[in-house]
Amino acid sequence: MFKLDYADGKPIYEQIKDNFKQLIIEGVLKPDDRIPSVRELAISMAINPNTIQKAYKELEFEGYVYSVRAKGVFVASLENIALDKNTEKLYKNLEDAVRELYFVGEDKAKLIDAIEKIYERGNNHD
């Protein structure tokens, strides 16, 4: 389904969560699609089920997925995503990145150019 980078400093559960979010946002996973159970994903990726469970709980808290008892975990419609909370977090991450770039002497025009290029590419990750 996706790869994990064990050399990355980001915890595995966050990588799993981020991968699922990307698949949902890009439309690879559609609303009401069933995602693998905690057990299925833990076995296929050889990861502790508690790690998967933590990622799924956060995805559910943020509104990306929902659980149906005895049926599984499903992708939520984009309207259900806690956009205000996510947007606030994304802006905080952006602010942290901009502050760090400023601290290391990065040029403001270069940063603005990078943002404009991202918008020009849109949803393409090439």
d(CA 103, CA 96): 10
Average pLDDT, the chain: 87
Query: Which residues does residue 75 pair with via DSSP β-bridges, in sequence order?
Result: 65
In a domain, 2, yes or no: no
Query: Are 90 and 67 in a shared domain?
Result: no
Number of helices (H) and strands (E), helices first, in the chain? Answer: 5, 3
Rounded to 10 degrees, the C-alpha dihedral 33/34/40/41 comes to: 50
For residue 104, give Cα distances in angstroms to 58, 67, 99, 101, 116. Answer: 33, 44, 9, 5, 21
How confident is the model at residue 85, as a pLDDT? 62
pLDDT digits (tens, 9 = 90+) for 109-120: 999 998 888 888
Q: Which domain holds residue 115?
A: 83-121
d(CA 58, CA 65): 9
Q: Is the pTM of this model over 0.85?
A: no
In a domain, 7, yes or no: no
Looking at residue 53, its amino acid is: Q
Query: Are 26 and 72 in a shared domain?
Result: yes
Query: Does pLDDT of 121 surpass 60?
Result: yes
More confident of the two residues 11 and 83: 11
Check which CATH number belongs to the domain holding 60 and give it. Answer: 1.10.10.10
**Best CA proximity match to 65, nearest among 27, 4, 26, 24:** 24
Query: Are 87 and 112 in a shared domain?
Result: yes
In a domain, 3, yes or no: no
How confident is the model at residue 83, as a pLDDT? 60
Query: Are 74 and 87 in a shared domain?
Result: no
**Best CA proximity match to 55, nearest among 8, 1, 16, 10:** 16
Query: Are 93 and 39 in a shared domain?
Result: no
pLDDT digits (tens, 9 = 90+) for 38-71: 999 999 999 999 999 999 999 998 889 999 998 9
In a domain, 59, yes or no: yes
pLDDT digits (tens, 9 = 90+) for 26-35: 889 999 999 9
pLDDT digits (tens, 9 = 90+) for 84-104: 566 777 788 888 889 999 889
Query: Are 71 and 91 in a shared domain?
Result: no
